[in-house]
Chain A
Amino acid sequence: MTAIGDRVATGRWEHFPHDADIGVRGYGATPDEACEQATLAMMAAILDPETVRLEQTVDFALEAPCLDLLLVDWLNALIYEMAERRMVFGAFHVKIENDRLKGRALGEAVSRARHAPAVEVKGATYTELAFVEDRPGLWRAQCVIDV
């Protein structure tokens, strides 16, 4: 884990500061990878993703008019499923083609004792939203989540 100012970078995801909430950011060689890493960053805002057992899978199929809205929709779909299924997730697979995203989340039922979740994510927001290729082969996916 590397501290960068008010950020912590773990592998290819990091949190960036927001006054009240949390910025999540993922990097990757492809949009798929950057999206997966941003998702891990969101989970890490709630708990340590490594404590999550990958016992159940949930599949998603989403469509949005542009890449950054697709990111917000994906994160919000996960937030909804976590709330509705009382689950937490620890691993993700994302495949983005044009304006469509197919995703899979792996996780288990939330255990307040074992996971000790710190916050509930209310929603992924459009604040600081970006899903861009900073330079060839380096994609960045980010937004602020409301906790």
Chain B
Amino acid sequence: MDVSRFEKLSETAWRIAPFGGMRAPAIVYATEDLMTEMDDKVFDQVTNVAKLPGIVRASYAMPDAHWGYGFPIGGVAAFDADEGGVVSAGGVGFDVSCGVRTHLTHLTREQVVSVQQELADALFEHVPAGVGSEGEIALDEQGMNAMLLGGAQWAIERGFGRPEDLDRIEERGCASGADPAAVSEHARKRQRREMGTLGSGNHYLEVQEVAEIFDDEIAAAYGLVKGECVVTIHCGSCGLGHQIGTEYLREMVLSAPNYGIELPDRELACAPIKSELGQKYLGAMRAAINCALANREIIGHLARQVFVRFFAQEDLPLMFDVSHNTCKVERHAIDGETRQLFVHRKGATRAFGPGHDSLPEALRPYGQPVLIGGSMGAGSYVLAGVKTSEPQAFSSACHGAGRRMSRHAATRTWGGRQVVDDLRAQGIIIKSPSLRGVAEEAPGAYKDVRAVVDSAEAAGLARKVAFLKPLICVKG
């Protein structure tokens, strides 16, 4: 991306003044190197988002931003219902509430390495992953409705998790306002056999070593100890969320003219928050959030079942669970006035700073854990929300490294077997049903996650707490 098209606000903040129908400026947070590496489409998309009705303050892109659908991946925008604001199915995406959770263990790297292959095999065997995989939970109509309303709380009531987990999940594991009646028969059918499955693509379950601590106090509060291992799960709302995205995008594309909305891009399909369609989508999207929260809770439970076979005392307490693709109702200060906004985060992480009243007491003084997924080899980060992120980007941060290479280019560059062997030589065991899938997700296909995270910290979006290095990766 050509940085000369931006006004440089700082070393990590770049602004585009409103032009051509933009109702607000656009701001990208990244170093010049990352800006240069970004696709030109990020410019188009972050400015297109600023053209949507009711946008508040600015359209934002995070340091891992790349070409998405309508919104850039790594896009953040908030809308005010009272000012004609919209909710956008494209601004949430197909994998509603795709996100990350991290469980703690008290196991040292040496303990895990002593059973590394057997543990990897058992996790791969026990946690359904990849295309065509099926979970063991069959949902009838009543069960489906209960799951869509209850999220992780439903999973725990069914015995797939622990009550104490809820404190460590956004919204205590259950998005309020879910409307199962707004979820179609097709979406329900796609989900019938998919509860407790990882999915495919960039979804994974990793066993990681806490390899580096950047902030001792916050790491201690989060329960992170250098040399100990954690289990991180990245997945979303499976077929149900994908179908909801598909159906509402179409409906919003066709309905936009009726609402007097001129879409700069059909993937920015949206409806006024106060419209019947907007409310219906919000109800369906919140049901999909609950599906994702239930799904991650079940997979966490499956991981616990495997670990206890190897380490009898291990109960894998949940550190935190946070989503990347959502629209959430939040209160933010705008020009000294607190307003209720509908904050879209598309491939971006909520990052509430210290003192936020939605955080559990144990975490409140330190800020919300922000979990940054890495690739199979490059590692992941735990960050903490900071107060400066609120005025910068409605308390948001990046969500991962972001791709720098297309899937096809990746398969032309690497073979799946080669990636598996190279990572094994580095002490990382990869388990996946598809070698081509592994090649497409090769670590080199992603940007330098360290540069992305450093950029987010420098921009005041979040602060670094710990670096996690993978030992086992079960790929979807």
> Smallest Cβ distance from B173 to chain A, in angstroms?
24
Q: Is the CB of A118 within 8 A of B95?
A: no
Contacts of B412 on A, CB cut-off 8 Å?
Answer: 3
Given A86-B132, A122-B94, A147-B407, A116-B69 contact (CB < 8 Å): no
Q: Mark B418-448, 1 if CB is under 8 A from A, else 0.
A: 0000000000000001111100100000000
Contacts of A133 on B, CB cut-off 8 Å?
Answer: none
> Smallest Cβ distance from A34 to chain B, in angstroms?
20
- B435's partner among A73, A116, A146 (CB-CB below 8 A) is A116
Bound CA span A3–B93, Å? 31
Query: Is A11 among interface residues, defined by CB-CB distance under 8 A?
Result: no
Q: Is the CB of A20 within 8 A of B190?
A: no
- A15's partner among B132, B242, B408 (CB-CB below 8 A) is B408
Contacts of A3 on B, CB cut-off 8 Å?
Answer: 412
Query: Is B250 among interface residues, defined by CB-CB distance under 8 A?
Result: yes
Given A73-B250, A83-B190, A116-B436, A122-B131 contact (CB < 8 Å): no
> Smallest Cβ distance from B295 to chain A, in angstroms?
14
Query: Is A52 among interface residues, defined by CB-CB distance under 8 A?
Result: no
Q: Is the CB of A112 within 8 A of B407?
A: no
Bound CA span A122–B245, Å? 9
Contacts of B67 on A, CB cut-off 8 Å?
Answer: 18-20
Q: Mark B117-148, 1 if CB is under 8 A from A, else 0.
A: 00000000000001111100000000000000
Q: Is the CB of B69 within 8 A of A147?
A: no
Chain B residues 234-293 with CB under 8 Å of chain A are 239, 242-243, 245-246, 249-250, 253-254, 265-267, 269
Contacts of A126 on B, CB cut-off 8 Å?
Answer: 69, 249, 253, 265-267, 269
- A46's partner among B131, B239, B408, B409 (CB-CB below 8 A) is B131
Contacts of A116 on B, CB cut-off 8 Å?
Answer: 433-436
Query: Is A8 among interface residues, defined by CB-CB distance under 8 A?
Result: yes
Query: Is B406 among interface residues, defined by CB-CB distance under 8 A?
Result: yes
Query: Is A96 among interface residues, defined by CB-CB distance under 8 A?
Result: no
Q: Is the CB of A122 within 8 A of B433?
A: no
Interface residues of B (CB under 8 A from A): 39, 41, 66-70, 73, 93-95, 130-134, 186, 189-190, 199-201, 239, 242-243, 245-246, 249-250, 253-254, 265-267, 269, 402-404, 406-409, 412, 433-437, 440
> How many residues of chain A have a CB within 8 Å of chain B?
39
Contacts of B407 on A, CB cut-off 8 Å?
Answer: 20-22, 119, 147
A-B residue pairs in contact (CB < 8 Å), sample of 12: A6-B409, A19-B406, A20-B73, A22-B408, A84-B186, A117-B132, A118-B200, A122-B245, A126-B249, A127-B70, A146-B69, A146-B95
Q: Is the CB of A118 within 8 A of B434?
A: yes
Query: Is A30 among interface residues, defined by CB-CB distance under 8 A?
Result: no
Given A83-B239, A126-B267, A146-B69, A120-B201 contact (CB < 8 Å): yes
Query: Is A38 among interface residues, defined by CB-CB distance under 8 A?
Result: no
Q: Is the CB of A19 within 8 A of B39?
A: yes
Contacts of B404 on A, CB cut-off 8 Å?
Answer: 19
- B69's partner among A46, A80, A144 (CB-CB below 8 A) is A144
Q: Is the CB of A119 within 8 A of B132?
A: no
Contacts of B131 on A, CB cut-off 8 Å?
Answer: 46, 110, 112, 117-120
Bound CA span A6–B67, Å? 16
Q: Is the CB of B201 within 8 A of A112?
A: no
